[in-house]
Structure 1
């Protein structure tokens, strides 16, 4: 049964960014509802400074959802989606170009292990090194899809959208 998806954009982006817009379209075409919070005011606080307000904003959106939502994030959106999953129940995590750490922050990326999760990353990501998220995924036995792309993953938006559709189908089949 379809549910709700909350899509969180990256730091140098906005709610109408290419990837989150494409994934929202996939979710909606499958009968899921979606929303894209605007974190740009939080991002003005810098990478380390925006984490706490972003997580708080995401908690508010999760609390307003009538069902446990699927969290989707890109880069900083991915980082805060993982952190939010540690504190409130969510149905799934679909995370793109995830940083394992944010310089200057006391936070380290993590996710609840009982939440279905898929990590997607680019081989040539020079913003969030692949080695860091590969090590994270390996330690937790999480699926990691690595694409021949950079941090923006812009050459693979269609492939990521198809993978997201499969992810939502699997979640819907579980309920």
Structure 2
């Protein structure tokens, strides 16, 4: 086994969501162990209310790993993955449709320095506006791949999977 990857789905989704499922399959085919926490119960607390409970569940999953995992997240899953990386050592962050803030939660997006990170975002993201994420990535000089897609990134799943494989190679 190459390592462990924890894939966190977005709100109004689940651990079998398309992007998370495809990325988990690709990771497992490459010899990684994929873990997909189910945050649907936490999501019943609303966007701001789910951040703390999601973070607790993700940190517990990280603590159960033998070595620092790669964190993958989509939307709310990306936001919480970034926050978890501030609390625990991780091998990398692969973040999709990342919101720079969750209104009402009291925490803004932040990342630890020195962790390999790739942000992927849709040009037409109607939920997480691109200008705020662009400013976030620019201030930190993070790689940001923009795709001709909306928030769900449903038309870009194969392109995302190809980027994921490239992202994992140097970490493995």
Provide the TM-score with structure 2 as the length reference: 0.99
**2:170 corresponds to which residue?**
170
Name the SS for the 2:49 alignment partner. Answer: coil
- Alignment partners' CA distance in 1, 2:17 and 2:28: 16
Provide the alpha-carbon RMSD of the alignment.
0.7
**1:35 corresponds to which residue?**
35
- Alignment partners' CA distance in 2, 1:20 and 1:170: 21
**1:115 corresponds to which residue?**
115
Name the SS for the 2:151 alignment partner. Answer: coil
- Alignment partners' CA distance in 2, 1:109 and 1:17: 23
**2:79 corresponds to which residue?**
79
**1:24 corresponds to which residue?**
24
Name the SS for the 1:13 alignment partner. Answer: coil
**2:139 corresponds to which residue?**
139
Runs of 4+ in 1 over 6 A off after TM superposition: none
- Alignment partners' CA distance in 1, 2:29 and 2:73: 19
Structure 2: runs of 5+ lacking an equivalent: none
Provide the TM-score with structure 1 as the length reference: 0.97
Name the SS for the 1:149 alignment partner. Answer: coil
- Alignment partners' CA distance in 1, 2:154 and 2:33: 24
**2:103 corresponds to which residue?**
103
**1:153 corresponds to which residue?**
153
- Alignment partners' CA distance in 2, 1:84 and 1:170: 22
- Alignment partners' CA distance in 2, 1:114 and 1:54: 24
- Alignment partners' CA distance in 1, 2:66 and 2:33: 11
**1:50 corresponds to which residue?**
50
- Alignment partners' CA distance in 2, 1:24 and 1:166: 15
**1:4 corresponds to which residue?**
4
Structure 1: runs of 5+ lacking an equivalent: none
